[in-house]
Amino acid sequence: MRGKPGVTIWNLLLVPGTLFFSLLSGADVMQAMTQILKNDAYYPCTTEEAGNITANSLTYASGVAIPLVLVIGFLFDIFGRRLTTAAAFLTGAIATFLIPVVAPSIIGYDITRILFVQTLVVMLSNPFINDYVTVQSRGIATGFQMIGLTMGNLISVGGLFTLTEMIDDKIVSYGILAGL
């Protein structure tokens, strides 16, 4: 992968890096949301209700994502790559924080879930390939972008979610959440 003149290796690492970090946190958050729905402290839903709510919120998020994909390029051009990317990461963090806060409102849950999914859509529309990579290397850069996406998913699902479950089981088994 060859960068345009003046582009550093750090700039080129943004190509796979933005999707890697988005999916590293995103896949873990998406998995944990179903667990939050079934937790009596937040949303006391049955497994079937949690599945229905999750499916519905993802359907709504897809409906919002379609027009966002059409305009995200304009947003990158109007506000700049750095500001748009930082705003997407910040919005994702705020949405993640708000999911248990808005409990037990399913509408609040749906809205925060839609916001979170949209941040992933912004990162999938990675503009850094056109900005930093030569025309001849764009295919390779797209491959590196997908490696970032795949590695973020694998580490998140295989590592972070498993680690989170292990820590949660230890906390519950030691009675830390139950007030000892």
Domains along the sequence of the chain with CATH: 11-173 (1.20.1250.20)
pLDDT band at 177 (very low <50, low <70, confident <90, very high): very low
Question: Token match 């509408």: residue?
Answer: 107
pLDDT digits (tens, 9 = 90+) for 99-154: 888 878 888 888 888 898 888 888 888 778 888 888 898 889 889 888 988 898 88
Q: With cut-offs at 50, 70 and 90, classify the pLDDT of residue 91.
A: very high
Measured CA to CA, the distance from residue 76 to residue 71 in angstroms comes to 9
Q: CA dihedral defined by 107, 105, 97, 154, rounded to 10 degrees?
A: -70
Is there a contact between 118 and 68 (Cβ–Cβ < 8 Å)?
Answer: yes
pTM (2 decimals)?
Answer: 0.76
